């Protein structure tokens, strides 16, 4: 039997703003644990968030560079989950009216040849979580909130990616565009760019997608490639053995080259989203959006095309 891979990516990118998304703490990487924190990003009762306007500007900039529609009236929502990396016990994100929708990135079609578009379903703004440090020596888990509240864009693709090579090319293109626009340093080793990878397989010619699994926080091109190839193989083996693929979140271990089951996949309803009452909706004028468009640099693809035509260079 012939199978096709169906893959969609959720790429998280930390924005290169000086301060966090809802407070004045620095976004600088590293530092002594729990020194880049204040009463807002550590979730003290009675504090209120204020949106960093540079985050909105960078989100619009990214959306325009990725051929998106900009949502003139967008707002924040509360994503509730109880985990020590977020002291408020909820993350401020966007679900119902994300700031950008319906974009695309062009890549090489690894199956049919030529070019194809990977559609972008949406881009939303949200805050990053802190980091848990599992300390084997003292057999406990420590928490570092320096990263808590660092602004993130989540760029959600449609399941238009058909191979590990396409996924890598898509993330490479995204990274180049984000860097050209100056919105993120995209340092994968520091977690400024990381991908959640959704994979399913189906028989060639089938109309319905197979059951998908998700692998979270993959932060190198090699790991993205390996994870998709290994997960495709694992799912095909299950199907050929007459077993079922379970919808779940899996942890990819790149050094071992295997993924292991983490938990059953959450749906949006598990997070009990509701509109964030502490932040007003954001209204964007045409003038504001066009002002940002006018400052966009020449993007990688346009630059490449110009070099090829003006200097007769090969691709
Ligand atoms: Zn803070």
Query: Tens-of-pLDDT digits for all 315 residues of the chain?
Result: 799 999 999 999 999 999 999 999 999 998 999 999 999 999 999 999 999 999 999 999 999 999 999 999 999 999 998 888 999 999 999 999 999 999 999 999 998 899 999 999 999 999 999 999 887 778 889 999 999 999 999 999 999 999 999 999 999 999 999 999 999 999 999 989 999 999 999 999 888 999 999 999 999 999 999 999 999 999 999 999 999 999 999 999 989 999 999 877 667 778 999 999 999 999 999 999 999 999 999 999 999 999 999 999 988
* CA of 58 relative to ligand 1 center, distance in Å: 20
Q: DSSP assignment, residue 297?
A: P
* pLDDT for the residue numbered 265: 66
Distance 23 CA to ligand 1 centre (A): 5
Task: Give 77 Cα–ligand 1 centroid separation in angstroms.
Answer: 19
Number of structural domains found in the chain: 1
Ligand 1 centre distance from Cα of residue 43 (Å): 9
Cα 213 to chain centroid, rounded: 16
CA of 25 to the centre of ligand 1 (A): 4
Cα(28) to centroid(ligand 1), Å: 12
Q: Cα(224) to centroid of ligand 1, in Å?
A: 32
pLDDT of residue 138: 80
* Residue at token pair 């060639």: 204
Q: Check the CA dihedral 84-87-88-90 and report its sign.
A: negative
pLDDT at 136: 72
| Residue 120, beta-bridge partner list | 103, 157
Structural domain of residue 186, as residue ranges? 3-311
43: left (phi over 0), alpha (psi -120 to 50) or beta: left
CA distance 235 to 223: 18
* Distance from Cα 279 to the centre of ligand 1, integer Å: 16
- pLDDT for res 270: 85
Q: Report how far ligand 1's centroid is from the alpha carbon of 147 (Å).
A: 10
Calculate how far, in angstroms, residue 166's C-alpha sits from the geometric centre of ligand 1. 38
Q: How far is the CA of 289 from the centre of ligand 1 (A)?
A: 28
Q: Give CA angle at 217 (64, 257), nearest 5°.
A: 130
Cα separation, 298 vs 190, whole angstroms: 27
Q: What is the whole-number distance in angstroms between the Cα of residue 62 and the centre of ligand 1? A: 24
């Amino acid at each position: 039997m012939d199978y096709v891979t169906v893959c969609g990516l959720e790429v998280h990118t930390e924005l290169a703003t000086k301060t966090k998304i809802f407070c004045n703490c620095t976004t600088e990487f590293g530092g002594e644990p729990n020194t880049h924190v204040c009463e807002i990003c550590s979730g003290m009762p009675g504090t209120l968030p204020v949106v960093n306007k540079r985050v909105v500007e960078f989100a619009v900039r990214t959306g325009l560079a990725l051929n998106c529609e900009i949502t003139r009236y967008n707002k924040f929502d509360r994503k509730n989950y109880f985990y020590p990396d977020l002291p408020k016990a909820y993350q401020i994100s966007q679900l119902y009216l994300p700031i950008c929708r319906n974009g695309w990135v062009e890549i090489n079609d690894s199956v049919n040849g030529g070019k194809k578009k990977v559609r972008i379903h949406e881009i939303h703004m949200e805050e990053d979580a802190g980091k848990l440090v599992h300390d084997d020596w003292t057999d406990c888990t420590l928490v570092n909130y320096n990263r808590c509240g660092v602004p993130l864009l989540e760029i959600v693709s449609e399941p238009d990616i058909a191979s590990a090579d396409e996924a890598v090319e898509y993330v490479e293109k995204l990274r180049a565009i984000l860097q050209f626009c100056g919105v993120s340093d995209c340092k994968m080793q520091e977690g400024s760019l990381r991908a959640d990878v959704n994979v399913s397989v189906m028989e060639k010619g089938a109309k319905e997608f197979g059951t998908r699994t998700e692998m979270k926080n993959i932060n190198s091109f090699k790991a993205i490639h390996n994870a998709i190839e290994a997960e495709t193989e694992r799912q095909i083996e299950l199907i050929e053995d007459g077993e079922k693929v379970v919808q779940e979140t899996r942890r990819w271990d790149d050094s071992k080259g295997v993924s292991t089951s983490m938990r059953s996949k959450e749906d949006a309803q598990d997070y009990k989203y509701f509109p964030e009452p502490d932040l007003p909706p954001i209204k964007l004028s045409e003038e504001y959006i066009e002002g940002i468009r006018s400052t966009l640099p020449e993007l990688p693809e346009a630059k490449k095309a110009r070099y090829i035509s003006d200097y007769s260079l090969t691709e």
